Amino acid sequence: MKHFKSILVLLLCWNPARAAGANPAESGKEVRVADQPTVFQWAGDQFIVTNSTQSWIKAKDHLSGKISILKLSDGAMGQTLWNGVVTSFRLVNQRTALSRRALQGTWRDYPTILDRGIGSNGMRGYPFLLFESSKEGRFFSYSRMPGFVLGEESSICSWWKQGPNGTLEPDDLIHLELEYPIFLAEHLAPNATTIATSNRYLGLEPFLDYPLRFSGGFVVVSWGAGVIWIISDDPTVSNRTIKLAASDQGFFSGKKRHNPALLGIQVTPNNRILAALRSDVLLYEGLEEGEKGFKNVPACKDESESAQKTKELHKILWKEIDPSDGNITEPDLLNYPGAPAAFIPDEPFRFSFDLNGVIVINGREERPPEAGEDAEKPNKEKASEAMKPKNLKTK
């Protein structure tokens, strides 16, 4: 487990300026990172709201309306929920394990085929976030840092599989590409940790530290460039790359410095993807100064040139994406009551949905209940047979 602990040290020492694709020449400037602390997700027969670190999950059953609360267990790197089954990659008795339980059940642990973080197929990396897919025994894994490496190829997501005896092992990388593969393998030292880096496309940074989940697959998000990759649960369906912001090669490479394209992105209760983007004039450094110049312009009742420019700089570009075909439309905001048409650049802007599917703008980060509050806790005595996941294998 020494190698596993070194990965944790690497995460703690990870340079956020590099993660955000900071230009060395701009090292004196504030590094902007993806800021979306509350996430709305599909979880099969439930909607869930979770935080960006996945340390807690609130789940609401579609039929009964019952709300369950999950907190991260000891030794777990992360947790996910699908059709009432919790999945976690964690340390059990100093060994890595795939751990699963029904909402009211106890953990069942399955070994992993990993030797110092290397699978039998030669793939390096730990599956910090594991999502059960619709195909039995198949898992989508996400690790923003250090990622996954197979030879000289790398990615921040991969497929894993559960063998007949329940053992978890890596299956294959999930390739994310623009014109070329985005992630490259970087060897920090001979026979030492290998990480996935996006040096070829620094303009894409930062990426969200977690994928979004819709009914049918996953969304990997470049917060910096407003690019998303839709990855289907169905292994026969090809991945889809969608560019939401105006861009060119300099934009993606990082040579043309720009603000993060995205203000927020969430899966919606009707299984679409809703994205809020900065207007084109807010993306580039030259117009960033213009933003500061207009920041303190007094409110005008007339449609003066200054008022028009202020509106333009504050405008939010809302886009709705159908993940089944990649179709992008401009949503009718009447379908999202409370969604603003503009934002104030020097104030935070966040949006999410609550468990009732109502959009929340700049709400405080959802938090799990404290001790003594109502919450559904795992029953350690017995697990309901009806709640046991179908693809849990017995030894």
Number of Cβ atoms within 10 Å of the Cβ of 42 = 19
Does residue 206 have a cis bond before it (omega within 30 degrees)? yes
Residue 148 has what pLDDT? 92
Residue 197 has what pLDDT? 78
- Give the pLDDT band of residue 2 (cuts 50, 70, 90): very low
- Higher-pLDDT residue of 26, 209: 209
For residue 47 the two structure tokens come to 């909607």
Residue 304 has what pLDDT? 54
Residue 261 has what pLDDT? 92
Mean pLDDT of 42-65: 88
- 47 burial level (CB within 10 Å; 0-12, 13-18, 19+): buried
Share of the chain above pLDDT 90, in %: 34
pLDDT-wise least confident of 91-100, 145-154, 171-180, 364-373: 364-373
Residue 207 has what pLDDT? 92
pLDDT-wise least confident of 7-21, 90-104, 207-221, 314-328: 7-21
Residue 290 has pLDDT above 70, yes or no: no
Residue 199 has what pLDDT? 77
For every residue of 33-48, DSSP letters joined together read: -----EEEEE-SSEEE
> What is this structure's pTM?
0.80
Mean pLDDT of 130-149: 89
Residue 278 has pLDDT above 60, yes or no: yes
Cα(288)–Cα(293) distance, integer angstroms? 9
Return phi, psi of residue 140, to 5°.
-90, 130
Torsion of CA 350, 354, 77, 272, to 10 degrees: -80
Share of the chain above pLDDT 70, in %: 73
Residue 195 has what pLDDT? 73
As separate numbers, helices (DSSP H) first and strands (DSSP E) second, the chain gives 5, 26
Residue 94 has what pLDDT? 83
pLDDT digits (tens, 9 = 90+) for 329-354: 999 999 998 899 888 767 778 899 99
Cα(370)–Cα(376) distance, integer angstroms? 12
* Angle subtended at Cα 216 by Cα 167 and Cα 67, rounded to the nearest 5 degrees: 80
Residue type, 245: A
For residue 282 the two structure tokens come to 């807010």
- 31 burial level (CB within 10 Å; 0-12, 13-18, 19+): middle
Mean pLDDT of 33-58: 84
Mean pLDDT of 245-270: 87
Residue 318 has what pLDDT? 96
Residue 259 has what pLDDT? 84
Q: In this structure, are residues 321 and 327 in contact, taking their beta carbons and an 8 Å threshold?
A: yes
Phi-psi region of 191 (alpha: psi -120 to 50; beta: other; left: phi over 0): left
Cα(364)–Cα(357) distance, integer angstroms? 16
| Eight-class DSSP state of 118 | B
pLDDT-wise least confident of 91-100, 215-224, 291-300: 291-300
Q: In this structure, are residues 146 and 125 in contact, taking their beta carbons and an 8 Å threshold?
A: yes
**21-25, 228-232, 303-307, range with greatest mean pLDDT:** 228-232
Residue 156 has what pLDDT? 94
Residue 9 has pLDDT above 50, yes or no: no
> What residues pair up with 359 in beta bridges, in sequence order?
353
Residue 384 has pLDDT above 50, yes or no: no
**How high does pLDDT run on average in the chain?**
76
pLDDT digits (tens, 9 = 90+) for 186-244: 876 665 556 777 778 988 999 998 999 999 999 999 999 999 999 999 888 999 999 99
Residue type, 375: A
Helix (H) or strand (E) run with residue 109 in it: strand 108-111
Cα(175)–Cα(241) distance, integer angstroms? 11
Q: In this structure, are residues 228 and 282 in contact, taking their beta carbons and an 8 Å threshold?
A: no
Cα(371)–Cα(369) distance, integer angstroms? 7
Residue 116 has pLDDT above 80, yes or no: no
